[in-house]
């Protein structure tokens, strides 16, 4: 059984997917990151048929007729619509393989720690339906740590803070396992909502989801403002009930983002409080790593370091850490075996017990 598994692992294509709330990177062994698709699905509401997925669906936001709806099948790191999640995964796998391979691919999917068995089953069935041979799931926090180059198998503490679109995954890892971890339903989407809500409340101005995201990317910060020029955006004047433009200052965006980012740092501190002192000492020397799209927020790493007293650095390719780490786990036989131990067959267990008995007998006779 184990020999067949090893043979299959050596021949099968390997595909790694970071099933994110906002974006889904897909890695194919031998090709690297093949593409990154927004996690959107456009649906014809009359027929229920899927019009398009990914970037094509995202471009339709706010521009569709009444017969077409753009859906985000994952919200807050949770699958909100199983059918459309299956359709998204199926199309991503079809695009990753391009043609039906002779040997069904091995697929590993990075998911939040809070994902349920029902959600995993939906993703597994979608991947199987698209031609996957084996489907494995790995914690996004653990995969991000591997993708960021942290020494997860060594007997010392490593800490990752992965700020994604729907969730923030925080974990302290040692000897290949999670020592302390938390999954927080705050991510890039919540920052976008906070910016839109702040402008609606303080300036009486309504903006769309994509405009809020642009403001976050261009003017977002945590801690001290960076002195960037204001950004003029188009939207709707809620008081005059007509279209208009608004000049948004850096301070407006920073004020909107302060509360949700403060909650993230509070949870980081809570995880550190749950971590054994010896590992905290390791972290004080080695620091923690920021990954995910939120790692790019100006001033976040510096402010987090100031508040926690632990060095903080941003991963080299923060948005791709989960997909890269999942690919490394699938390819590294020792790490894969530690995370996904192979269940021995009846014959294998019998042979192991026989060999163990022979060793015991030999040891007794030598005494």
The whole-chain average pLDDT of the chain stands at: 88
Q: What percent of the chain has pLDDT over 70?
A: 92
Main-chain phi, psi angles of 168, to 5 degrees: -120, 120
Q: What is the pLDDT of residue 341?
A: 83
Name the token pair of 220.
Answer: 């977002």
Would you give the DSSP letter of residue 39?
S
- Give the pLDDT confidence of 43-84 residue by residue, as tens digits: 998 888 889 988 999 889 878 888 999 998 887 777 778 788
CB atoms within 10 A of CB 337: 10
Q: What is the pLDDT of residue 345?
A: 47
> How do strand 23-28 and strand 32-38 relate by DSSP bridges?
antiparallel
Q: What is the pLDDT of residue 359?
A: 47
- Residue 42, beta-bridge partner list: 52, 70
Q: What is the pLDDT of residue 87?
A: 84
- Give the pLDDT confidence of 217-249 residue by residue, as tens digits: 999 999 999 999 999 999 999 888 899 999 999
Average pLDDT of 332-361? Answer: 65
Q: What is the pLDDT of residue 181?
A: 94
Would you give the DSSP letter of residue 241?
T
User: In angstroms, what CA-CA distances link 197 with 6, 194, 202, 222, 293?
Assistant: 53, 5, 9, 18, 21
Name the token pair of 268.
Answer: 């980081």
Answer left, alpha or beta for residue 149, where phi above 0 means left and psi between -120 and 50 means alpha: left
CB atoms within 10 A of CB 329: 23
- Give the pLDDT confidence of 246-275 residue by residue, as tens digits: 999 999 999 999 999 999 999 999 999 999
Report the alpha-carbon distance of residue 286 to residue 335 in Å, rounded: 22
Confidence grade of residue 352 (pLDDT, cut at 50, 70, 90):
low
Report the alpha-carbon distance of residue 278 to residue 282 in Å, rounded: 7
Report the alpha-carbon distance of residue 39 to residue 113 in Å, rounded: 19
Place of tokens 């001290």: 224
- Closest by CA to 71, choosing from 48, 40, 35, is 40
> How do strand 288-291 and strand 242-248 relate by DSSP bridges?
unpaired
E runs forming strands in 127-221: 134-139, 158-163, 168-174, 177-184, 205-206
Report the alpha-carbon distance of residue 352 to residue 276 in Å, rounded: 37
Report the alpha-carbon distance of residue 64 to residue 250 in Å, rounded: 31
Report the alpha-carbon distance of residue 200 to residue 238 in Å, rounded: 8
Answer whether 0.85 is exceeded by the pTM. Answer: yes
Whether 159 has a pLDDT exceeding 50, the answer reads yes
What the chain holds in terms of domains, given with CATH numbers, is 2-40+74-143+322-339 (3.30.420.40), 156-312 (3.30.420.40)
**Do residues 201 and 225 make contact, with C-beta atoms less than 8 angstroms apart?**
no
Confidence grade of residue 103 (pLDDT, cut at 50, 70, 90):
confident
Confidence grade of residue 363 (pLDDT, cut at 50, 70, 90):
very low
Report the alpha-carbon distance of residue 188 to residue 178 in Å, rounded: 24
Report the alpha-carbon distance of residue 341 to residue 209 in Å, rounded: 43
């Amino acid at each position: 059984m184990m020999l067949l598994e090893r043979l299959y692992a050596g021949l099968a294509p390997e595909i790694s997917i970071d099933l994110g709330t906002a974006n889904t990177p897909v890695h194919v062994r031998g090709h690297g990151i093949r593409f990154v698709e927004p996690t959107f699905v456009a649906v014809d509401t009359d027929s229920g048929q899927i019009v398009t997925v990914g970037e094509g669906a995202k471009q339709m936001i706010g521009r569709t007729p009444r017969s077409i709806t753009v859906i985000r099948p994952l919200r807050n790191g949770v699958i909100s619509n199983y059918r459309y999640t299956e359709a998204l995964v199926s199309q991503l796998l079809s695009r990753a393989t391009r043609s039906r391979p002779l040997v069904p691919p091995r697929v590993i999917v990075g998911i939040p720690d809070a994902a349920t068995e029902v959600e995993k089953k939906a993703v597994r069935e979608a991947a199987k339906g698209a031609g996957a041979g084996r489907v494995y799931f790995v914690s996004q926090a653990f995969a991000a740590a591997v993708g960021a180059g942290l020494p997860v198998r060594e007997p010392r503490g490593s800490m990752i803070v992965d700020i994604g679109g729907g969730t923030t995954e925080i974990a302290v890892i040692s000897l290949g396992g999670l020592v302390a971890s938390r999954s927080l339903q705050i991510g890039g989407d919540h920052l976008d909502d906070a910016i839109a809500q702040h402008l609606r409340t303080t300036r009486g101005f309504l903006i769309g989801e994509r405009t809020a995201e642009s403001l976050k990317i261009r003017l977002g910060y945590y801690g001290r403002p960076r002195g960037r020029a204001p950004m003029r955006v188009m939207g709707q004047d809620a008081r005059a009930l007509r279209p208009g433009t608004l000049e948004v200052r850096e301070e407006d965006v920073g004020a909107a983002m302060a509360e949700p980012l403060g909650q993230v740092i509070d949870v980081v501190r809570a995880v550190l409080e749950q971590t054994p002192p010896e590992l905290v000492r390791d972290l004080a020397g080695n620091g923690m790593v920021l990954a995910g799209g939120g790692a790019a927020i100006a001033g976040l790493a510096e402010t987090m370091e100031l508040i926690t007293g632990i060095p903080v650095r941003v991963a080299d390719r923060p948005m791709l850490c989960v997909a890269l780490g999942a690919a490394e786990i699938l390819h590294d036989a020792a790490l894969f075996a530690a995370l996904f131990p192979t269940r021995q067959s009846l014959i294998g267990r019998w042979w192991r017990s026989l060999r163990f008995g022979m060793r015991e007998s030999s040891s007794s006779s030598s005494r």
